[in-house]
Structure 1
């Protein structure tokens, strides 16, 4: 009898160890759990704010060059300090060209859902914008070998406007409200004026085991961007600032894509 009970005890222990191993792999190693460990990085911005353009084109790219994107859910929201008028038209801080590009980038996020594709398309546009060459934005299709038709369809058929209205509502409901753009959140917590140190915040927030090397190096601290000519710190485009406010009446992108930048 003792031998029989011992056999069952050993069998129970064996089954327990097998189940424990399976559960450990499922909860701690499974792709679903790894996805849940990612850090959310959200950027609220507008396309022709020079500080937004610089941040998107030159700072955010480090997510990809340092392999941080493997632990980050990147979300871009191109609306910023724009407004929806009572007429239903959009009004943007840096003029009609900004309204157009906000909608173009909203469409890019929608029709190129892969993060790499829409980010690098947007990065291309924002690099041009920072050089005051935003009217050349359509050259980014060829540079990245992207089919332009889905984006044109999104814009011309009104889907882009629908997405922008959703972004407008989301931006207006931020708590605390955004005071300026770029407005950067890590796991829904705004970084305020320290937004350029986003890598440090990502590294601190990450709870997974696949820690990118940059999180253990001095590169996780980003020095503030300074204007090359004045040497003064450049930070943001403030909400409520009156710059080049004009009503934007969307028509087909091929008819107006150069006119709005003049």
Structure 2
């Protein structure tokens, strides 16, 4: 058995036995910053070798508000009524998406991530004002779009979105920006900001050893601020030496 095969096997065993890092992402369905973060940072990281080391909870509410009157729940959303509908679709998808026994290559988590990524990638640009739910479902092996759509257009969708709102309101530190990221159920302003610039690198800090190769490669890469500081130092020394010669 080659060293590469042994290494891959050991990594697989470690991934199975290691505790997954719980991450909660508080976002809005039509928020440009949320879309950029999920599609460019979260999705590539979780689709990599890190997929077995992370457990993501999506909370589609953000700065929205809800009001109850009897059994009725009404919402006002940061980016308008279309976002309220989008938030309900996300909440219903998170609730209803299931993996099928005949599609063993997909898990409930991977299907949900693919679907949400597709919706966020679409942004606000919907051809003919058609919400891309059905398209994203068919492109990402989601077989129960009709159930998700029915949920989003009924009381169930309102209740699920209200639940997301209650989860958001229970944050120890009130949500002030969207998206907001929590690692290990703890909010840290510095970690939140760092994760939005470099989600993969931040996640790797929480992954127990032995880490997947992608983390080792990432940690080995020089940080931009370190490179900048080094170049500045070298330039300063060069200028100093030049002045000495001239003087």
TM-score normalised by length of structure 1:
0.66
Q: Which residue of 1 aligns with 2:160?
A: 163
Q: Which residue of 2 aligns with 1:139?
A: 135
Kept in 2, the 8 Å contact 1:46–1:78? The answer is yes
1:104 CA displacement: 0.1
1:200 CA displacement: 2.3
Q: Which residue of 1 aligns with 2:110?
A: 116
Question: Cα deviation per residue 1:210-252 (whole Å; 9 max; x = unaligned)?
Answer: x2211112379898xxxxxxxxxxxxxxxxxxxxxxxxxxxxx
Q: Which residue of 1 aligns with 2:41?
A: 59
What CA distance in whole angstroms lies between the structure 1 residues aligned with 2:14 and 2:218? 31
Is the alpha carbon distance of 1:123 and 1:145 closer, same or farther for their aligned partners in structure 2, counting shifts above 3 Å? Answer: same
Q: Which residue of 2 aligns with 1:193?
A: 193
Q: Which residue of 2 aligns with 1:80?
A: 62
Q: What is the aligned length?
A: 192
1:103 paired with 2:88, answer yes
The correspondence for 2:28, drawn from 46, 54, 64, is: 46
Is the alpha carbon distance of 1:64 and 1:205 closer, same or farther for their aligned partners in structure 2, counting shifts above 3 Å? Answer: closer
Kept in 2, the 8 Å contact 1:84–1:91? The answer is yes
Q: Which residue of 1 aligns with 2:245?
A: none
What CA distance in whole angstroms lies between the structure 2 residues aligned with 1:86 and 1:150? 25
Question: Cα deviation per residue 1:139-175 (whole Å; 9 max; x = unaligned)?
Answer: 1122123221221232234222111111111101101
Is the alpha carbon distance of 1:200 and 1:50 closer, same or farther for their aligned partners in structure 2, counting shifts above 3 Å? Answer: same
Higher mean Cα deviation, 164-173 or 142-151? 142-151
1:38 CA displacement: 0.8
What CA distance in whole angstroms lies between the structure 1 residues aligned with 2:23 and 2:116? 16
Name the SS of the counterpart of 1:145 in structure 2: coil
Kept in 1, the 8 Å contact 2:21–2:207? The answer is yes
Q: Which structure shows the higher helix fraction? A: 2
Is the alpha carbon distance of 1:160 and 1:136 closer, same or farther for their aligned partners in structure 2, counting shifts above 3 Å? Answer: closer
What CA distance in whole angstroms lies between the structure 1 residues aligned with 2:182 and 2:199? 9
Name the SS of the counterpart of 2:23 in structure 1: strand
In structure 1, the gaps of 5 or more residues are 1-28, 224-262
Higher mean Cα deviation, 44-53 or 81-90? 81-90
Kept in 2, the 8 Å contact 1:82–1:90? The answer is yes
1:70 CA displacement: 0.7
What CA distance in whole angstroms lies between the structure 2 residues aligned with 1:170 and 1:106? 12
Q: Which residue of 1 aligns with 2:218?
A: 218
In structure 2, the gaps of 5 or more residues are 1-12, 99-107, 225-247
What CA distance in whole angstroms lies between the structure 2 residues aligned with 1:57 and 1:185? 18
Is the alpha carbon distance of 1:116 and 1:218 closer, same or farther for their aligned partners in structure 2, counting shifts above 3 Å? Answer: same
Kept in 2, the 8 Å contact 1:66–1:212? The answer is no
What CA distance in whole angstroms lies between the structure 1 residues aligned with 2:206 and 2:164? 25
Is the alpha carbon distance of 1:220 and 1:142 closer, same or farther for their aligned partners in structure 2, counting shifts above 3 Å? Answer: farther
What CA distance in whole angstroms lies between the structure 1 residues aligned with 2:14 and 2:40? 34
Is the alpha carbon distance of 1:192 and 1:220 closer, same or farther for their aligned partners in structure 2, counting shifts above 3 Å? Answer: farther
Kept in 2, the 8 Å contact 1:62–1:68? The answer is no
